[in-house]
Amino acid sequence: MRSRRHLVSDHEGIWEIWPAFTDVMSTLALILFVLVLLSYVRSLVSAKQLDAFQRQIAASGRQLQTLRSQIDAERGELASAKSKVEQQAGGNAALAAAEHRRAARGRAEQAEAGHRSAAAAAGRRIEIAVIPRDDNVRSVIDQYVRSAAQMPPPATP
């Protein structure tokens, strides 16, 4: 019986648990410490990456503003070039209309001279009055202006 009491009443068995318990707890504490350290390092790396991305976004924003200002300047130059082309087309249209009128008058004078020579040959005198028609001249001018407006602008070197 004594051996039985010895097993039940022995308090040495309880004291043998504590070294193992402290080993397990210290191991868990070290593991938690390493995990916290890893998360802290990861946080630092992420913060540096975030800062780098923010700097890159700021640089891209500045570049975007520069490009927008260049686009606005180019649009202004394009508008001035268009107005110059339109002015030149308007001037060219007026010149072409005047040249067309001169040519029409020349053809009318040639026709009148032809009629006069034919009438003289026939022994009769025929007076032909040449009246320029304003509607015809306007339509020719309008047609020329429309064709000039549809032409592509000249290429600038």
pLDDT of residue 10: 54
- Is 152 within 8 Å of 97 (Cβ atoms)? no
Mean pLDDT for all residues in the chain:
76
Q: Is the pLDDT of residue 73 over 80?
A: yes
pLDDT grade, residue 125 (50/70/90)?
very low
Q: Which of 98, 97, 117, 99 is nearest to 109 (CA)?
A: 117
pLDDT of residue 116: 67
131: in domain: yes
Lowest mean pLDDT among 27-41, 56-70, 83-97: 83-97
pLDDT of residue 31: 98
- Distance between CA atoms of residues 102 and 95, nearest Å: 11
pLDDT grade, residue 127 (50/70/90)?
very low
HEC secondary structure over 5-23: HHHHHCCHHHHCHHHHHHH
Range of the domain at 121: 83-152
| Candidate ranges 73-77, 108-112, 139-143; pick with highest mean pLDDT | 73-77
114: in domain: yes
- Distance between CA atoms of residues 2 and 111, nearest Å: 156
93: in domain: yes
95: in domain: yes
The domain total for the chain is 1
For 123: left if phi > 0, alpha if psi spans -120 to 50, otherwise beta; the answer is left
Q: Which pair of tokens denotes residue 30? A: 């070290």
- Distance between CA atoms of residues 153 and 132, nearest Å: 34
87: in domain: yes
What is the arithmetic mean of pLDDT over 71-76? 91
Instruction: Please state the pTM of the whole predicted model.
Output: 0.40
103: in domain: yes
